[in-house]
A and B are shown apart, each in its own frame.
Chain A
Amino acid sequence: MSGSDDKGDRTLVAKLVLLTVGMFAFGYALVPLYDVFCEVTGIGDRTGVGSAATALPTAIDMDREIEVEFVASVNEGAPWEFRPSVSRMTVHPGKMYKTTFYARNTTDKGLVGQAVPSIAPGLATPYLQKTECFCFTEQRFDAGEGRDMPVVFFIDPELPDYLDTVTLSYTFFAQNRVATR
């Protein structure tokens, strides 16, 4: 008394189940797609934010000045002292600059931390390139140890005209919050 056409039912059910499984997989596919989406909608390509620049600038634009601000945060009250050594720099696009961030482990135990970069506005993310950064690797600190950690960066001369300030922010995460995707 069920389906008028059992074979037709089975085919359709199979297709719909396949669609369901496909959509579940699509949910996971959204993770890499998100990066693509970020690029397309202009949220900025966040994929490159934690890795080194692949191409170096060829020309320096001495006519243009960009303010680069540095801010530092510590996640969830982790026992770190963390701050930029200077709060801002005025830079020319295409030129290399070096600055440092100071971090200190305030406990009497050795700790490992990871700094995660973020750039505001998000649109500027692909244009602030780092050739050397303490954020590329985990940082190990002995009890009470403090040190300056370098960042070498440049602003891509292609930075859109409507931006005059870029903020480079780092958040320090204690190691127990660090995991790999």
Chain B
Amino acid sequence: MSTAAATHEHHDHHPTGIMRWLTTTNHKDIGTLYLVFSLTMFLVGGSMALVIRAELFQPGLQLVDPGFFNQMTTMHALIMVFGAIMPAFVGLANWMVPLMIGAPDMALPRLNNWSFWILPMAFSLLGMTLLFPSGAPAAGWTMYPPLVLQTGDAFPFLIFAVHLMGISSVLGAINIIVTIMNMRAPGMGLLKMPLFVWTWLITAYLLILVMPVLAGAVTMLLTDKYFGTSFFQAAGGGDPVMFQHIFWFFGHPEVYIMILPAFGVVSQVIPTFARKPLFGYDSMVYATASIAFLSFIVWAHHMFTVGMPLAGQLFFMFSTMLIAVPTGVKVFNWVATMWKGSMTFETPMLFALAFVFLFTIGGFSGLMLAIAPADLQYHDTYFVVAHFHYVLVPGAAFGIMAAVYYWLPKWTGHMYNEKLGKLHFWLSAISVNVTFFPQHFVGLAGMPRRIPDYSTQFADFNMISSVGAFVFGFSQLLFVYVIWSCARGGQKATDQVWEGAEGLEWTVPSPAPHHTFDTPPVIR
């Protein structure tokens, strides 16, 4: 924040105060807005997770009504997916993509402003339903009918909020694609782009291809409830399972939307701190593209229990297992990048390494879930909860944290407090495992997900998990403090910041001035 404040005197035609943020078209300002919004949502969604974990601390209902519990699981997921993870990546793209490809700004700056400001509106719509007498949506973020059609007054708010989030993401994605395709500095060929830019280009295409499908699906829900259509009602010739097919046609690529940019971040961070170029750049790009392609033909692996015939189950099992190949290539390439490097372990590197370890564990449980016969046991249990939290928390969220620590000096012009950063890392990395590892055990032992109370045999692991969750939750306040104090001041950062850092973003001053690359840089 102070970055922009320090430089905006040069441009006295800019409004100040709140109007400056409302009307800004500068990619760095908008990036900051996205990141601050995402951090806020991360804390809100996290508080909801703590309500869930507090109720699950021991068997019996102590704190909340089961209906409210379902509202918490639903809102936690919607807020974390659409409010925390996705906007954080868009924020990173806004800040870094122009800097990394040598562009002066995003291609469509006014659209950029609009795609951000839609988000607070969407989440206000969604959040206010918590105050309704009939409560917030409680049918899960997957919104399966017919259950979701039992939602009370919150229903239209849920649908329109999802529409707005979709519009915001698609506008953001269009902007990123146009920027990458048309605004690269001369000499920056596609296969010279940093991997973060590559992963974002592919992610942006995924967004454009699937967010409209989600919008279509929720629109069908809306007309089913209020306008007498029966897309998903058996009575009128519809099929509730069809919603699941359409939803997961969106939902599986969505999973990769939340992880591909993190792959990109890790592919920037590891070479920097290993002081060695990324191993297998080309195969990294191809692997990312194959993962994106495969994500469109695996969706029904979320639905092995709906009664698909053998041929369908076999197809989706095989295609899902295939995803392990390009994902494996990425992990092996990261390890090969570290191999015979000269590593140091600053906070961004620590988060990137934890990402590789823990995302791989999430990948293993994903491979187990791909085995259709075994999935009939795993499905809808805490094993699945453990799996996707391993890919989303130490996966996506750690990727974002690595990125924040990595580029924070470039944004603020100050080094963050390395001691506190490392403390934040170790607290997070340990507590995230304490939280989610035991969930594998209770899931295998038979605990279904989305339940507010459970049999006493699951008590011990749930207690451990809740303790871990509270430590993890409160550790994030440290993260907020580190960012805050880094924005306020600290040791002056050099232009290159990190000894092994390479790329255009490290050639501009720290903090990056309000306007960069007004004249395109020359690429080697």
A touching B, CB within 8 angstroms: yes
- B107 touching A19, Cβ below 8 Å: no
- The answer to whether the Cβ of B239 comes within 8 Å of any Cβ in the partner chain is yes
Considering only residues 2-19 of chain A, those with a C-beta below 8 Å from chain B are 2-5, 8-9, 12-13, 16-17, 19
Which of these, B108, B183, B208, B242, contacts A4 with CB under 8 Å?
A: B183
For the complex, count residues of B whose C-beta is within 8 A of A: 51
- B229 touching A5, Cβ below 8 Å: no
Residues of B contacting A122 in the complex (Cβ-Cβ under 8 angstroms): 307-309
- The answer to whether the Cβ of A173 comes within 8 Å of any Cβ in the partner chain is yes
Residue of A3, A21, A44, A177 with most chain B CB atoms under a 10 A cut-off: A3
Known: A4-B520, A19-B208. 4 other contacts (CB 8 A): A8-B182, A20-B208, A43-B309, A179-B233
- A24 touching B235, Cβ below 8 Å: no
- B235 touching A27, Cβ below 8 Å: no
A23 vs B167: C-alpha distance in the bound complex, in angstroms? 13
- B309 touching A41, Cβ below 8 Å: yes
Residues of A contacting B518 in the complex (Cβ-Cβ under 8 angstroms): 1
- A30 touching B245, Cβ below 8 Å: yes
Residues of A contacting B229 in the complex (Cβ-Cβ under 8 angstroms): 179, 181
A20 vs B312: C-alpha distance in the bound complex, in angstroms? 28
A binding-site residues for B, Cβ under 8 Å: 1-5, 8-9, 12-13, 16-17, 19-28, 30-31, 34, 37, 41-44, 46, 50, 75, 114, 116, 118, 120-123, 171, 173, 177-181
- A41 touching B311, Cβ below 8 Å: yes
Convert B146-169 into 0s and 1s, putting 1 for each residue whose CB lies closer than 8 angstroms to a CB of A: 000000000000000000000000
Considering only residues 168-223 of chain B, those with a C-beta below 8 Å from chain A are 170, 173-174, 177-178, 181-183, 208-217, 220
What is the distance, in angstroms, from B479's C-beta to the closest C-beta of chain A?
A: 34
B binding-site residues for A, Cβ under 8 Å: 103-109, 170, 173-174, 177-178, 181-183, 208-217, 220, 228-231, 233-239, 242, 245-246, 249, 307-312, 315, 515, 518, 520
- A42 touching B238, Cβ below 8 Å: no
Residues of B contacting A4 in the complex (Cβ-Cβ under 8 angstroms): 103, 182-183, 520
A11 vs B245: C-alpha distance in the bound complex, in angstroms? 33
Which of these, A9, A30, A34, A118, contacts B182 with CB under 8 Å?
A: A9
- B177 touching A16, Cβ below 8 Å: yes
Which of these, A1, A44, A116, contacts B234 with CB under 8 Å?
A: A116
What is the distance, in angstroms, from B492's C-beta to the closest C-beta of chain A?
A: 29
What is the distance, in angstroms, from B208's C-beta to the closest C-beta of chain A?
A: 6
Residues of A contacting B242 in the complex (Cβ-Cβ under 8 angstroms): 30-31, 34
- A12 touching B177, Cβ below 8 Å: yes
Which of these, A2, A22, A41, A178, contacts B105 with CB under 8 Å?
A: A2
Name which residue of chain A comes closest to B518, CB basis.
A1
Name which residue of chain A comes closest to B246, CB basis.
A30
Residues of B contacting A22 in the complex (Cβ-Cβ under 8 angstroms): 212
- Show 5 residue pairs from A and B whose CB-CB distance is below 8 angstroms, ordered by the A residue: A3-B182, A3-B183, A12-B177, A20-B211, A34-B245
A9 vs B106: C-alpha distance in the bound complex, in angstroms? 11
- A42 touching B309, Cβ below 8 Å: yes
On whether A178 and B307 interact (CB within 8 A), knowing A19-B208, A24-B212, the answer reads no
A50 vs B177: C-alpha distance in the bound complex, in angstroms? 46
Residue of A12, A20, A26, A118 with most chain B CB atoms under a 10 A cut-off: A20
A21 vs B208: C-alpha distance in the bound complex, in angstroms? 9
Name which residue of chain B comes closest to A10, CB basis.
B178
Residues of A contacting B182 in the complex (Cβ-Cβ under 8 angstroms): 3-5, 8-9, 12
Residues of A contacting B309 in the complex (Cβ-Cβ under 8 angstroms): 41-44, 121-123
A34 vs B109: C-alpha distance in the bound complex, in angstroms? 39
- A2 touching B108, Cβ below 8 Å: yes
Residues of A contacting B235 in the complex (Cβ-Cβ under 8 angstroms): 75, 114, 116, 173, 177-179
Which of these, A23, A118, A173, contacts B213 with CB under 8 Å?
A: A23
Residues of A contacting B212 in the complex (Cβ-Cβ under 8 angstroms): 20-24, 26-27
- B208 touching A42, Cβ below 8 Å: no
A171 vs B235: C-alpha distance in the bound complex, in angstroms? 8
Residues of A contacting B103 in the complex (Cβ-Cβ under 8 angstroms): 4
- B108 touching A13, Cβ below 8 Å: yes
- A42 touching B107, Cβ below 8 Å: no
Residues of B contacting A75 in the complex (Cβ-Cβ under 8 angstroms): 234-235
A17 vs B312: C-alpha distance in the bound complex, in angstroms? 33
What is the distance, in angstroms, from A136's C-beta to the closest C-beta of chain B?
A: 12
- B249 touching A43, Cβ below 8 Å: no
- A3 touching B107, Cβ below 8 Å: yes
A34 vs B306: C-alpha distance in the bound complex, in angstroms? 15
What is the distance, in angstroms, from B48's C-beta to the closest C-beta of chain A?
A: 29
Residues of B contacting A41 in the complex (Cβ-Cβ under 8 angstroms): 308-309, 311-312, 315
A44 vs B231: C-alpha distance in the bound complex, in angstroms? 18
